[in-house]
Amino acid sequence: MPELGYFAPDEYLKPNSIEEVVNLLQRYGDKARIVAGGTALYELAKRGMIPQVKKMIDLEYLNLRYVRSDEEGIKIGCMVKIYELANSPILDIHPYYSIKEAALNIRPVQIRNMATVGGEICSAIPFLDLPTVFLALDAKLRIIGPKGERKIDMDGFYFDYFLTSLGNGEFVIEVMIPKLPDKTGSAFLKFERTAVDLPLVNVGVSLMNKNGECKNVRIALGGGRTHVRIKSLERALEGKRFNDKILDDIVQSLSDEFKPISSAHASTEYKLEIAKILLRDALLIAYKRSQGD
């Protein structure tokens, strides 16, 4: 980690095209930082964590503020503000509704009005809500860089706290959520100390209901060192019918798979207990929704 120090950028750039952004990112490397909503960057700056940043690159003029639906699925531009996501009628359809739930529960309203989808994803702070939902819905990221465009699964995007797989000169321009089959239900739950705090842990779940059996199970959790998918639990639930015993087993085996980081707010053990309860509830909600309720 670089040394702490005052944040003293010398230039605030407002590029008008994607190529320009790539060029700037390549030219300045670590000295440049992208400003989306600016909220996470401000907190880092105030804590003295980014003294090396000299160029701020604002993406506001790139026309990346859209939520649309086409035959591939739902596409969300990285500069969409959280409140726009929370108000978007496209996300009212069932499997995608958990995105809306997560967006609506990001508090306070001032942050919803400033923070962006791209910022939530790329700041790689493991407590944020949207990455958890996106992971649970199998989202893909469209990344632009010096070598052109690449599309990656969001699973595997995060390496560690503040660390993503974005290379030099690359940035995320779009989140794509594939079309989910009928009878898919999703849910998002989180636990925070106060209404306006970052959550201690959050859980996103989606599953498809095939005549009572679970298919395409996705379980994502935030609150560890990164956002993670818990694949062993997904496999354990695949093809099973819901009953109390299965749920208990799944929830109990979470202890081996998920390690929340302890903080001044709560210990690892406490967060893990909360995660188990949230996971159980989220699975039940998703299952209920998959039946079409």
Partner 1 sequence: MIKLSRKITLNVNGKNYEVLCEAGENLRDVLREKLGFLGVKKGCDFGGCGACTVIIDDNAVYSCMTWAYKAEGKKITTIEGLSSGRPLHPVQEAFIALSASQCGYCTPGIVMSALALLNKNPKPSFEEIKEALAGNMCRCTGYVRYIKAIVNACKNLKKFE
Q: Record the tokens describing residue 128, joined without a space.
A: 């944020």
Which of 37, 42, 30 is closest to 58 using CA atoms? Answer: 37
Nearer to partner 1 among residue 57 and residue 189 (C-beta): 57
Span 48-67, contacts to partner 1 by CB under 8 A = 56, 58, 60
Among 40-48, 123-131, 242-250, 261-269, the segment contacting partner 1 (CB under 8 A): 40-48
Nearer to partner 1 among residue 54 and residue 179 (C-beta): 54
- Residue 256 backbone phi and psi in degrees, to 5: -80, -20
CA separation for the pair 218, 208 (Å, rounded): 9
Q: Are 47 and 70 in contact (CB under 8 A)?
A: no
Element at 120 (helix H, strand E) = helix 117-122
Q: Record the tokens describing residue 57, joined without a space.
A: 């690159």
With CB under 8 A, what is the number of residues at the site for partner 1? 27
**Residue 45 sits in the site that holds partner 1 (CB under 8 A):** yes
Span 181-220, contacts to partner 1 by CB under 8 A = 195-196
Binding mask 78-107 for partner 1 (x = CB under 8 A): -----x-----------------------x
**Residue 4 sits in the site that holds partner 1 (CB under 8 A):** no
CB of 9 to partner 1, least distance (A): 4
**Residue 8 sits in the site that holds partner 1 (CB under 8 A):** yes
**Residue 264 sits in the site that holds partner 1 (CB under 8 A):** no
Nearer to partner 1 among residue 20 and residue 257 (C-beta): 20
Q: Pick the binder of partner 1 from 4, 14, 19, 159 (CB under 8 A).
A: 14
Q: Are 130 and 120 in contact (CB under 8 A)?
A: yes
CA separation for the pair 95, 50 (Å, rounded): 38
Nearer to partner 1 among residue 33 and residue 276 (C-beta): 33
Element at 32 (helix H, strand E) = strand 32-35
CA separation for the pair 42, 2 (Å, rounded): 17
β 171-178/163-164 pair status: unpaired
Instruction: Give DSSP secondary structure letters for 203-248.
Output: EEEEEEEETTEEEEEEEEEESSSS-EE-HHHHHHHTTPBP-HHHHH
Nearer to partner 1 among residue 36 and residue 99 (C-beta): 36
Is 244 strand, coil or helix? helix
Nearer to partner 1 among residue 12 and residue 159 (C-beta): 12
Q: Pick the binder of partner 1 from 7, 96, 134, 157 (CB under 8 A).
A: 7
Binding site for partner 1 (CB under 8 A): 7-12, 14, 35, 38-39, 42-43, 45-46, 56, 58, 60, 83, 107-111, 113-114, 195-196
